[in-house]
Amino acid sequence: MSQDTPSTVYIVKDNGKRCFAPPCDHYDLFRADQPDVKLQSIHELDLSAIAGDDTTRGELAQRAFSADGLKLEGTLAQRLKAGPGGDAVVLRATRVVG
């Protein structure tokens, strides 16, 4: 991964987009202090620092499907050559907020 951005609180929402060649940008990212302004789309959520098992990570990721989304503090990073579609933007979560 390349250099991370500073840690920020984000709201992550699944945008319903799916693709055939990863990485797929199927999450929309919003700043928690501006929840109506989409910042960008991202490809992956890295929840490994806050959830030790697959079940917990899956439960957290499911919250991104809700109307309120999943509120996380974390940093954005880039994973180079993530798949045939190119590089991936990854939100590396450090804590669940709220």
Residues 28-69 pLDDT 10s: 999 999 999 999 999 999 999 998 899 999 999 999 999 999
Q: Is the pLDDT of residue 4 over 70?
A: no
Q: Are 46 and 91 in contact (CB under 8 A)?
A: yes
Q: Is the pLDDT of residue 2 over 70?
A: no
Q: pTM for the complete prediction?
A: 0.86
Distances (CA, A) of 22 to 52, 59, 79, 83: 24, 22, 12, 5
pLDDT tens sequence across 66-81: 999 999 999 999 999 8
pLDDT of residue 1: 44
